[in-house]
C-alpha cells in the first residue's frame, strides 16, 4: 500500500451544518453525524466491513459486561488519548452524562425514556471504568446496539466551559452549569464559518481532524496523527466535494479526473461498464434503514384525513413498490414492505414482510376502502367525502362533507430517481382520486422548515407540511422502531402515537425474543405510522487503485476512511 494521497468524494444535494456532536432537537440534519463521527467516534462503533456487528477495534470500550440481571453495565474504556495528548477517561463519560441529563430534550438523537433518564446512578471506580446502574433490565443487544452506539465521548478537559474566554472547570456537575455549558457548545457548534478555527473542535479522539469547511458544503479532513486506535490513516486527506444534483456528479465521473469516490445514480446504472473501463470499480450494498412518506397527522388542513388508518391503507395500496424497484431502481432496492428492510437486515424480517407485506399494490382494494367509508371515488379527479361522521361507514372524525383527498408532498431534491419515483406515486394515487401535489427542495431547506407536530403541539410555523419524504432513516444494528414510531420519538415528526405500538416497542427493548420482535414489526407494518417505500441500495463507484473501500460498512455511511489506501 502507498502511504499518503488525497481522496475526493462526491456529496449530492446535502451538506452538514452543525459540528458539536449533540445537535439540537430542532436540527434533523442527519449529515451532521457523517461530519462528526470521524472526529468523535461513538462509544460503540457499529459495523465491521460488511458485517452487522459491533466493531470492537474502532469502539472506545475494551469490554462491556452486563450483570445484576442486565440492570448493570460495567464499561471499561481503552487507554486512548485526545489529539492534544490528554487521556480519554471515565470523566469524559460523566461529562457527557451530565450534559445530557440536564439537556436531553434538546438532543436530536435522544431516545425518549432511555439514556440518560434510565440511568439510576453512574460511578467511576477508576480512570477507565464506568459503572451504569439502570432503572430496569434491558435486552443487552438492544442497549448496546441502539443506545450506547448513539453516545460519543467528548473532551471534558477542553469543553467544560461556558464562554470562549472562560476557564475550563467542572461546571457540568450542577444542573445549571450543565445547561450553561451545553448552551455554549451548541451555540458554537452552529457557527459554520468557525468549524476549522474554533479551538474546541480541534480536540478529537477519532482518526481524522477537520481541515477545511466552506459555505457551499465543501469540507475536508486530514489524518489525526495522535489517533490511538487502529488502523491509523494511510491517506493524507479526504475531501467532500458538493454537487446540487446527480447530473454534474455523473459528468465528473465520466471525465475521470476530479472524483475518486461517488454514489452512482441508479438512473445512470448503464454507465457502469464505461466507468469500469475508465479505472473505476463498482459495488452495491443494501442500506439498513427505512424509506417512507411521513404523514403529518396534525396538519391543520389534512391531519384529520391522515389520522384515518383506512386512508393511509388506501394510499399504500396505490404505491406500486415492485414497479418502482424494477423500473426506477433497476432492481437495486429493498421492496419497502414494512419497517424492517428484507435485504439489509434479513435476519430480523418477519414472514409477513418477506412475503410482500400487508399492502401489496392493489388499486381495487384502495377504491373499495374509500367507498366503504363514505367517499365518492373519482379516478383521475378528486375523491370527496359524501358521508361525514365518525361511524364505521362514514369518513371519520373531523372530516367534512365535500372535503377532498388532496395532499402536498414535499421531498428532497437532487436525485433524478426520487423525482421519477414520486411522479409515479402521484400517477398511481390518482387512480383512486387521491391528488399528490409535488414539491422538491434542497435537503437542508426541507429539514429547516419541517417541525415536529403532535396532538398537543402543532404550531403553524413548523407544521404547515402535510406529507414529507426525506430519503430514508438509518437504523442501528438492532432495527426496532425506537425513536421513529414511539410516542415522542426524536424521529417521529408527524406525531404518530399508539399505546399498543409503544408497548410492543418497549417489549423489543426489554427482551430478546424473535416472536416479540416480529409482533412489533408486523403491527407497525399494518398500522402505517409512515407510508412504506422502496429503499434504494447504495451503488458506490471508486477508483480501482483505492483499496479498503469494500466491504462497505453501511452503518458508518461508508466513512471508514482510515481503512483506505492507494495501491500505486
**pLDDT tens digits, one per residue of 467-521:** 999 989 999 899 999 999 999 998 999 999 999 999 999 999 999 899 999 999 9
- The model's pTM: 0.87
The three cell numbers of residue 269 are 446504472
CA 232/CA 548 separation, integer angstroms: 13
Give the confidence band of 316 by pLDDT, cuts at 50, 70, 90: very high
- pLDDT at residue number 270: 78
pLDDT of residue 1: 75
Predicted pLDDT at 272: 80
Decide if pLDDT at 558 tops 80.
no
Residue 14 has what pLDDT?
Answer: 81
What letter would DSSP give residue 264? P
Mode of pairing for the β-strands spanning 72-77 and 61-67: antiparallel
Dihedral class, residue 47 (left if φ above 0, else alpha if ψ from -120 to 50, else beta): left
Backbone φ and ψ of 125, nearest 5°: -60, -30
Res. 268: pLDDT tops 80: no
β-pairing verdict for 406-412 and 435-441: parallel
Residue 2's pLDDT is 86
Coil/strand/helix, residue 559 = coil
CA distances from 429 to 314, 362, 411, 432 (A): 9, 11, 17, 6
For the chain, give the percent of residues with pLDDT over 70. 100
Mean pLDDT of 35-62: 93
Distance CA 293, CA 315 (A): 10
Does 306 have pLDDT greater than 90?
A: yes
Q: Give pLDDT tens digits for 506-526.
A: 999 999 899 999 999 999 999
Query: In terms of C-beta density within 10 A (0-12 exposed, 13-18 middle, 19 or more buried), how is residue 350 classed?
Result: buried
User: How many other CB atoms are there within 10 angstroms of residue 252's CB atom?
Assistant: 17
Q: What is the pLDDT of residues 72-102, one digit of tens each?
A: 999 999 999 999 999 999 999 999 999 999 9
Residue with cell 442486565: 70
The residue ranking higher by pLDDT, 553 or 75, is 75
Mean pLDDT of 1-19: 91
Backbone CA torsion sign across 546, 548, 554, 555: negative
pLDDT of residue 48: 86
Q: Where on the phi/psi map is residue 70: left (φ > 0), alpha (ψ -120 to 50), or beta? A: left
Round the average pLDDT of the chain to a whole number and report it: 94
pLDDT digits (tens, 9 = 90+) for 410-464: 999 988 899 999 999 999 999 999 999 999 999 888 988 899 999 999 999 999 9
Amino acid at each position: 500500500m502507498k502511504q499518503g494521497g488525497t481522496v475526493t468524494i462526491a456529496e449530492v444535494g446535502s451538506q452538514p451544518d452543525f459540528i458539536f456532536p449533540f445537535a439540537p432537537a430542532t436540527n434533523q440534519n442527519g449529515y451532521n453525524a457523517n461530519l462528526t463521527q470521524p472526529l468523535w467516534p461513538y462509544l460503540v462503533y457499529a459495523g465491521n466491513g460488511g458485517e452487522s456487528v459491533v466493531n470492537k477495534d474502532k469502539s472506545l470500550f475494551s469490554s462491556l459486561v452486563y450483570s445484576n440481571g442486565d440492570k448493570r453495565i460495567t464499561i471499561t474504556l481503552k487507554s486512548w488519548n485526545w489529539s492534544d495528548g490528554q487521556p480519554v477517561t471515565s470523566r469524559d463519560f460523566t461529562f457527557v452524562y451530565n450534559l445530557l441529563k440536564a439537556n436531553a430534550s434538546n438532543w436530536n438523537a435522544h431516545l425518549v425514556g432511555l439514556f440518560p433518564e434510565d440511568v439510576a446512578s453512574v460511578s467511576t471506580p477508576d480512570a477507565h471504568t464506568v459503572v451504569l446502574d439502570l432503572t430496569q433490565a434491558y435486552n443487552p443487544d438492544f442497549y448496546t446496539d441502539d443506545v450506547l452506539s448513539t453516545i460519543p465521548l467528548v473532551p471534558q478537559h477542553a469543553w467544560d466551559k461556558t464562554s470562549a474566554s472562560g476557564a475550563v472547570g467542572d461546571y457540568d456537575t450542577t444542573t445549571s452549569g450543565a445547561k450553561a455549558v451545553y448552551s455554549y457548545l451548541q451555540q458554537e457548534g452552529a457557527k459554520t464559518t468557525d468549524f476549522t478555527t474554533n479551538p474546541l473542535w480541534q480536540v478529537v479522539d477519532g482518526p481524522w481532524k477537520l481541515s477545511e469547511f466552506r459555505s457551499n458544503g465543501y469540507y475536508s479532513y486530514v489524518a489525526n496523527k495522535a489517533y490511538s486506535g487502529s488502523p491509523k490513516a494511510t491517506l493524507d486527506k479526504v475531501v467532500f466535494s458538493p454537487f446540487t444534483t446527480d447530473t454534474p456528479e455523473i459528468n465528473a465521473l465520466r471525465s475521470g479526473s476530479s472524483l475518486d469516490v461517488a454514489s452512482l445514480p441508479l438512473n445512470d446504472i448503464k454507465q457502469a461498464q464505461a466507468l469500469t473501463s475508465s479505472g473505476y470499480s463498482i459495488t452495491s450494498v443494501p442500506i439498513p434503514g427505512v424509506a417512507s412518506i411521513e404523514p403529518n397527522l396534525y396538519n391543520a388542513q389534512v391531519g384529520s384525513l391522515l389520522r384515518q388508518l383506512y386512508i393511509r391503507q388506501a394510499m399504500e395500496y396505490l404505491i406500486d413498490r415492485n414497479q418502482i424497484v424494477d423500473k426506477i431502481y433497476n432492481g437495486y432496492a429493498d421492496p419497502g414492505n414494512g419497517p424492517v428492510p428484507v435485504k439489509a437486515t434479513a435476519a430480523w424480517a418477519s414472514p409477513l414482510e418477506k412475503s410482500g407485506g400487508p399492502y401489496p399494490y392493489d388499486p381495487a382494494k384502495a377504491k373499495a376502502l374509500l367507498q366503504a367509508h363514505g367517499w365518492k371515488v373519482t379516478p383521475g379527479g378528486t375523491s370527496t367525502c359524501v358521508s361525514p361522521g365518525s361511524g364505521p361507514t362514514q369518513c371519520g372524525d373531523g372530516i367534512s362533507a365535500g372535503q377532498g383527498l388532496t395532499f402536498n408532498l414535499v421531498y428532497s431534491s437532487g436525485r433524478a430517481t426520487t423525482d421519477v419515483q414520486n411522479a409515479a406515486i402521484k400517477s398511481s394515487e390518482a387512480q383512486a382520486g387521491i391528488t399528490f401535489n409535488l414539491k422538491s427542495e434542497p435537503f437542508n431547506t426541507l429539514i429547516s422548515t419541517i417541525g415536529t407536530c403532535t396532538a398537543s403541539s402543532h404550531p403553524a410555523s413548523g407544521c404547515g407540511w402535510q406529507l414529507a419524504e426525506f430519503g430514508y432513516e438509518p437504523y442501528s444494528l438492532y432495527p426496532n422502531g425506537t425513536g421513529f414510531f414511539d410516542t415522542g420519538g426524536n424521529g417521529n415528526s408527524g406525531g404518530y402515537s399508539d399505546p399498543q405500538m409503544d408497548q410492543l416497542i418497549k417489549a423489543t427493548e426489554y427482551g430478546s425474543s424473535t416472536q416479540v420482535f416480529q409482533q412489533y414489526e408486523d403491527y407497525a407494518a399494518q398500522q402505517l405510522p409512515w407510508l412504506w417505500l422502496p429503499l434504494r441500495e447504495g451503488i458506490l463507484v471508486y477508483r480501482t487503485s483505492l483499496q479498503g473501500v469494500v466491504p462497505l460498512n453501511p452503518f458508518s455511511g461508508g466513512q471508514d476512511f482510515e481503512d483506505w489506501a492507494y495501491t500505486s
